[in-house]
Homo-oligomer: A and B are copies of this chain.
Amino acid sequence: MRLTERKIAAALRRHGYKLTPQRRSVIRAIASSQDHLTPAAIYLKVRQDHPSIGLVTIYRTLDILVRLELICELHAGGSCHSYTTGAPEHHHHLICSNCGEVIDFSGYYLTELEQRLSRETGFKIEGHLLEFIGRCQNCQQND
């Protein structure tokens, strides 16, 4: 279950950020989409009901939301960065290399591996990135 617009907005405020119409709009754009969106795509969506917003504000807002883990960031694919609403539970991504569809999956944990790495290297692990790339069923057929 993904975080709702309302919850994300509340969390923003809780962390001391002001709740501006621009930020609401960015959050709505992300939360109302199933897909993962690039900053440019979010910009386009947001401008529909907020024509004067600057692209800078998109970037600044995304920064904050990622930092607070309210949205999640994907790294793979062409334009490299894109965003979807975060889920309260820890999860990872499966991405179609052809159409870009993203599937969240959960129930897989890397804690043991993290402990092993920490022990063997002395690193203090802060996070990880686990993504699978593949072809979705649709794209396998339409080849």
Contacts and interface: CB of A to CB of B under 8 A. Distances in A.
Contact of A132 (B80, B105, B117): B117
Interface in A119-143: 120-137, 140
Interface residues of A, number: 34
Interface in A69-107: 75-76, 80-81, 94, 96-97, 103, 105
A86 to B, nearest CB: 17
A126 B117 contact: no
Given A75-B76, A80-B75, A121-B94, A126 B131 contact: no
Given A136-B123, A137-B123, A76 B108 contact: no
A114 interface: yes
Interface of A: 75-76, 80-81, 94, 96-97, 103, 105, 108, 110, 113-114, 117-118, 120-137, 140
